Amino acid sequence: SSGTDRELRAPICCILGHVDAGKTKLLDCIRHSNVQGVEAGGITQQIGATYLPVENIRERTSLKAEATIKVPGLLVIDTPGHQSFSNMRLRGSSLCDVAVVVVDITQGLEKQTIESIGLLKRRDVKFVVALNKVDRLYGWKTCPNAPIVKALKSQSDDVQREFKWRVAEVVTQLKECGFNSALYYENKKIKEVVNIVPTSAVSGEGIPDLLLLLVRWVPEIMMEKLTYADTVECTVLEVNEVKEFGTTIDVVLINGALKKGDQIVVCTKQGPVTTSIRHLLTPYPLKELRAKGSYERHEELKAAQGVKIVARGVQHALAGTSLIVVKPGHDLEQAEAAAMQEIDNAINPSNENERGKNEDETEVKEISRIQTCKEGVYVQASSLGTLEAIIEHLKTLSLDVPVSGCNLGPVHKQDVMKATAMLKRKEEYAAILAFDVKVMPEAFELAVESGVKIFVADTVYKLVDSFTDHIKKLKK
């Protein structure tokens, strides 16, 4: 069919890059929000999805009303840049249509920039580079929210010279990663050469350019992929505890529609779990799925969207796997068999053909399987992703702290009971590392009585540090 009568879904765009490159700040600038300012330690520790409706994009780009935008919006996925969160970068990059790799112009490509580019290369995901923090060039004259070419024209010769050599540097570094690149407004081969868009997330220069490029270039290069289809394609992004609902799963609905009451099958280590959707929630437009707060309830949702699903029995869902919908009249057995296959692939990644030919340098596991052993600490967190990040971080320490058990949600008495088992086996591990969860008063009391130490902190790094400090003191 012709390109005009198709219904396109929103492209899913993943934001990747090194710590502090400005990923969250860029999104804040686009949303007029302040997520970054309230993050503990200024670092992102969760994967988040935000829907940017086309009206918002029109406003930010000052597009004329008659100018057509073929997509209904953009679904943007923010990821953390810190090393231990490679699980979330992997998940974001696995399900997106395109990516924005954010690079700090004053730093060039850094460790996690290169890791991120490796992930995209492996899946052949097209990306643009946001060359951020241009306002940090010495002597930069601020031109709030201006298109970048206009902003550059107002700069002194010195600034323009510095800008040019820094761009050249990044072009060289990208070349070393195997990509030809060019400033997007000088790029004549937009299908082959990576576009670079200079931006400032603080004063907004280049933001209109970035948004325009995404809504125009993306449908152009992947019209087919973005065509709305009824067949549900849906990936589990996170499993988390939400106060009023209990265990929920955050999913990205890539294609098709979800309805309240739909029968669904999720993948768990123990096998497929069949349940039904009790509530279908989204954050309000321009708000993030990870933000704690109020959600909009829906009867039905069409792709692409970041969705929070409330359903019984989903607490062991494996992040990164598919959620399968069994529509009335469809075969449940077939859905469960498909889920089983996916569980197999997730648990024994070597079984999958595709992975056999992966000669890539990136060392990110498909599904980071949580491994526990008999002697180790107990870890508790609000989401599966952070649980994995904490365990990952513990592993990379010179101390190499093993984990004996873990759980999602508030620390209850039962959790402390489990941790007390270490008092006899290995006392230093009689500890609970609790991240972003409440410690119930009875749990706290039992811990004090029994001698189990509970550590709490608002960043994964502080949490692990306070535990290791404790171990070091014990050893002295």
Which residues form the interface with Na ion (CB under 5 A)? 20, 42-43
Instruction: Give the total of residues touching ligand GTP (CB under 6 A).
Output: 23
Q: Which of 46, 93, 132, 407 binds ligand GTP (CB under 6 A)?
A: 132
Partner from Na ion, ligand GTP, Mg ion, none contacting 430, C-beta within 5 to 8 A by type: none
Q: Which residue is nearest to Na ion (CB)?
A: 20
Q: Which of 22, 72, 256, 320 binds ligand GTP (CB under 6 A)?
A: 22
Q: Which of 92, 387, 94, 73 is nearest to 102 (CA)?
A: 92
Partner from Na ion, Mg ion, ligand GTP, none contacting 91, C-beta within 5 to 8 A by type: none
* Nearer to ligand GTP among residue 262 and residue 392 (C-beta): 392
User: Can residue 136 be called a binding residue for ligand GTP (CB under 6 A)?
Assistant: yes
* Nearer to ligand GTP among residue 148 and residue 447 (C-beta): 148
Give residues 306-335 in contact with Mg ion (rule: CB under 5 A): none
Partner from ligand GTP, Na ion, Mg ion, none contacting 416, C-beta within 5 to 8 A by type: none
Residue 203 corresponds to which amino acid?
Answer: S
Output Rg (C-alpha) for the chain, integer angstroms: 23
* Nearer to ligand GTP among residue 29 and residue 432 (C-beta): 29
Instruction: Tell me which residue has tokens 């730093």.
Output: 107
Give the Cα separation of 342 and 8 in Å (integer): 28
Give the Cα separation of 109 and 376 in Å (integer): 37
Interface mask toward ligand GTP for 42-81; x: CB under 6 A: xxx-----------------------------------xx
Shortest spacing between CB 290 and Mg ion, in angstroms: 11
Pairing relation of β-strands 246-255 and 296-298?
Answer: unpaired
User: Can residue 198 be called a binding residue for ligand GTP (CB under 6 A)?
Assistant: no
Give the Cα separation of 106 and 205 in Å (integer): 16
User: Can residue 283 be called a binding residue for ligand GTP (CB under 6 A)?
Assistant: no
* Nearer to Na ion among residue 16 and residue 326 (C-beta): 16
> Where would I find the H helices in 265-378?
332-347, 353-356
Q: At 421, is the secondary structure helix, strand, or coil?
A: helix
* Nearer to Na ion among residue 132 and residue 368 (C-beta): 132
Residue 157, C-beta contacts closer than 8 angstroms, at least 6 positions apart: none
User: Can residue 200 be called a binding residue for ligand GTP (CB under 6 A)?
Assistant: yes
Phi, psi of 405 (to 5 degrees): -165, 165
- Integer CA distances (angstroms), 139 to 23, 80, 240, in order: 23, 30, 45
**Tokens at 46, concatenated:** 């969760």
> Where would I find the H helices in 44-131?
54-61, 86-95, 111-123
Instruction: Tell me which residue has tokens 């709490």.
Output: 456
Partner from Mg ion, ligand GTP, Na ion, none contacting 409, C-beta within 5 to 8 A by type: none
Give the Cα separation of 421 and 375 in Å (integer): 9
User: Can residue 40 be called a binding residue for ligand GTP (CB under 6 A)?
Assistant: no
Partner from Mg ion, ligand GTP, Na ion, none contacting 201, C-beta within 5 to 8 A by type: ligand GTP
**Tokens at 166, concatenated:** 């820094």
Please state the separation of Cα 144 from the chain's center in Å: 28
* Nearer to Mg ion among residue 23 and residue 31 (C-beta): 23
Give the Cα separation of 316 and 307 in Å (integer): 18
User: Can residue 135 be called a binding residue for ligand GTP (CB under 6 A)?
Assistant: yes
Which window, 16-24, 227-235, 403-411, 425-433, contacts ligand GTP (CB under 6 A)?
Answer: 16-24
User: Can residue 393 be called a binding residue for ligand GTP (CB under 6 A)?
Assistant: no
User: Can residue 404 be called a binding residue for Mg ion (CB under 5 A)?
Assistant: no
Which window, 69-77, 131-139, 169-177, 227-235, contacts ligand GTP (CB under 6 A)?
Answer: 131-139
Partner from Na ion, Mg ion, ligand GTP, none contacting 202, C-beta within 5 to 8 A by type: ligand GTP
Give residues 20-79 in contact with Mg ion (rule: CB under 5 A): 23-24, 44
Contact 409, 247 (CB under 8 A): yes
Residue 80, C-beta contacts closer than 8 angstroms, at least 6 positions apart: 19, 43, 44, 45, 46, 47, 88, 89, 389
Contact 402, 373 (CB under 8 A): yes
Residues that bind ligand GTP in the complex, under the rule CB under 6 A: 17, 19-25, 36, 42-44, 80-82, 102, 132-133, 135-136, 200-202
Residues that bind Mg ion in the complex, under the rule CB under 5 A: 23-24, 44
